[in-house]
Amino acid sequence: MTDQKLKEILHRYSVPEIDPAHLRQTIQLAQKELNRARIYGKITFWELLAGQIRYISPYIWIAQAALLVLVFSLLPHLSRIGDAQQTAMAVLSTSSPLLALVAVPELGKSLHYQMWEMEMACRFNLQKLILLRLILFGVADLIVITTLLLFSSTHSPVSLIHLGMYILVPFTMANSLYLFILRKVRGKAATAAALSAGIFLSLGFALLSRFSDAYAVTTLTGWFLLFFLSAWILTREISTLFTYFSEGEQLIWIRS
């Protein structure tokens, strides 16, 4: 069809008369639907963060509470029957990878259930959801770690700073490994792989703290260097994870 022919058709077309009663009825129906519909305005960061709490499985908080109760039960008893310093090292170093492991099922939920593509297209995309979950779990872990340190300091002659290193170094190492697994292991196998890695880490730190004198005599400077190194690796892993989520085409392997 030529442009001239199209112009002739448009010139011959006339807009039909609209019945005023039908127009009023349409406006009334639209106004009624507008009043009934929920209008989503701008949500602040804190409102969004608080709203995400209800989507996190209660089993996460139950597992963290159970870990606290376990440490509270074991640490005083083991300190009385053995060396208090070695006991504190063993309990804290063993429990910290398990504390980090608690959050893995929630962080990997989108990949586990193959929902990441849909969430990337939502109003609050997968990157924002992962960030919110990391913040929530970070706050919860900080509370748990602080509680563990204060409690351990009453049952061990070791300084609070050393106790902090005994739990923070394994904790950051474990988190780095878990995030690496979430990126590299496909689908549902990621959670199982992270669980296996967490158990081996806990056993490894337990053996190291029980049988290695070097673990106990490492200077505070050495512990700080280990902590900053593991924290740097963890930061890189978080950054890499967000890069993968922002470039959705790199996650095509999940479909296989």
Q: Counting Cβ atoms within 10 Å, is residue 251 exposed (0-12), middle (13-18) or buried (19+)?
A: middle
Q: Is residue 35 part of a domain?
A: no
pLDDT at 39: 56
pLDDT at 232: 93
Q: Tell which wins on pLDDT, 254 or 198.
A: 198
Task: Tell me the pLDDT of the chain averaged across its residues.
Answer: 76
Full residue range of the structural domain in which residue 175 is found: 57-255
Q: Is residue 245 part of a domain?
A: yes
Q: Is residue 110 part of a domain?
A: yes
With 60 as the cut, is the pLDDT of residue 173 above it?
yes
What digits encode the pLDDT tens for the residues 93-106? 888 888 888 888 77
The average pLDDT across 5-11 equals 75
The average pLDDT across 24-46 equals 74
Between CA 169 and CA 173, with CA 170 as vertex, the angle to 5 degrees is 85
The position carrying tokens 């609050």 is 124
Q: Is residue 16 part of a domain?
A: no
What digits encode the pLDDT tens for the residues 225-244? 888 999 999 888 888 877 76
| Number of domains making up the chain | 1
Q: Is residue 132 part of a domain?
A: yes
Q: Are 196 and 104 in contact (CB under 8 A)?
A: no
What digits encode the pLDDT tens for the residues 60-107? 888 888 888 888 888 777 766 666 677 777 788 888 888 888 888 777
CA-wise closest residue to 233 among 163, 188, 175: 175
Q: Is residue 15 part of a domain?
A: no
Q: Is residue 72 part of a domain?
A: yes
pLDDT at 253: 39
Q: Is residue 9 part of a domain?
A: no
Q: Counting Cβ atoms within 10 Å, is residue 15 exposed (0-12), middle (13-18) or buried (19+)?
A: exposed
What digits encode the pLDDT tens for the residues 205-219? 877 776 655 555 566
- Report phi then psi at 16, rounded to 5: -70, 155
